[in-house]
């Protein structure tokens, strides 16, 4: 008797994949976390066993709702957004799987008011906490209810008061009228 003992083959695999991925061993496809054993017929006629320890990492989904002011931007990964809309970005998460960021972005209105005012010398106009009494162009920035800037531009003209000095002579018994006032002395 010439006896040969053929080797038994056993392979242990430890694999990590992401959601929606799979691994194929022989004719079997695996896509969920678990421990799997596959037996095959080796070339020497003996069993060949492949043990698979499979971990499936989840993809990470972040849903973000954000509001920015006009002129500002919102950054996700390397993408920069400045307009209202729905955006989706696929990034790489800490577990090497996809990190999907869904962004619902709203760009809030920027309020701007232009005022043109004319006042007389000695008068003033108040905008917020500022008081103006000289001719000029002024801008005031406030925080609107939506959290964005509200700008009030004021173009102010201050007209001088007109002074007329009148020297008049009347005869006794006569009167002199200025506007609605009548003078006899």
> For 8-23, how does the pLDDT look when each residue is reduced to its tens digit (9 = 90+)?
788 899 999 998 899 9
pLDDT at residue 126 in the model: 94
Between the CA atoms of 32, 35, 38 and 44, what dihedral angle is there, to the nearest 10 degrees?
A: 140
pLDDT at residue 93 in the model: 82
Q: Is the pLDDT of residue 153 over 90?
A: yes
Q: Is the overall model pTM greater than 0.85, yes or no?
A: no
Structure tokens at 79: 């993408």
> For 106-151, how does the pLDDT look when each residue is reduced to its tens digit (9 = 90+)?
999 888 899 999 999 999 999 989 999 999 999 999 888 888 888 9
Mean pLDDT of the chain: 90
pLDDT at residue 51 in the model: 93
pLDDT at residue 52 in the model: 94
CA atoms of 106 and 84, how far apart (whole Å)? 4
> For 41-100, how does the pLDDT look when each residue is reduced to its tens digit (9 = 90+)?
777 777 888 999 999 998 889 999 999 998 899 999 999 999 999 999 998 888 888 889
**Closest C-alpha among 149, 153, 150, 183 to residue 166:** 183
Q: Which residues contact 130 (CB under 8 A, 6 or more apart)?
A: 138, 140
Structure tokens at 14: 């430890």
């Amino acid at each position: 008797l010439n006896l040969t003992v053929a080797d038994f083959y056993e392979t242990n695999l430890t694999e990590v994949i992401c959601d929606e991925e799979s691994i194929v061993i022989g004719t079997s496809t695996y896509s969920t976390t678990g421990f799997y054993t596959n037996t095959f017929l080796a070339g020497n006629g003996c069993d060949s066993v492949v043990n698979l320890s499979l971990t499936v990492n989840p993809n990470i989904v972040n849903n973000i709702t954000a509001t920015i002011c006009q002129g500002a931007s919102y950054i996700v990964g390397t993408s920069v957004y400045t307009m209202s809309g729905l955006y989706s970005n696929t990034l790489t998460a800490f577990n090497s799987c996809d990190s999907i960021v869904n962004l619902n972005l709203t760009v809030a209105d920027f309020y701007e008011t232009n005022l043109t005012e004319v006042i007389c010398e000695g008068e003033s106009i108040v905008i917020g906490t500022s008081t103006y009494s000289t001719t000029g162009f002024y801008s005031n920035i406030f925080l609107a209810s939506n959290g964005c800037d509200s700008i009030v531009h004021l173009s102010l003209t201050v007209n001088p008061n007109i002074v007329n000095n009148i020297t008049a002579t009347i005869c006794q018994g006569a009167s002199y009228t200025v506007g609605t006032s009548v003078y006899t002395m």
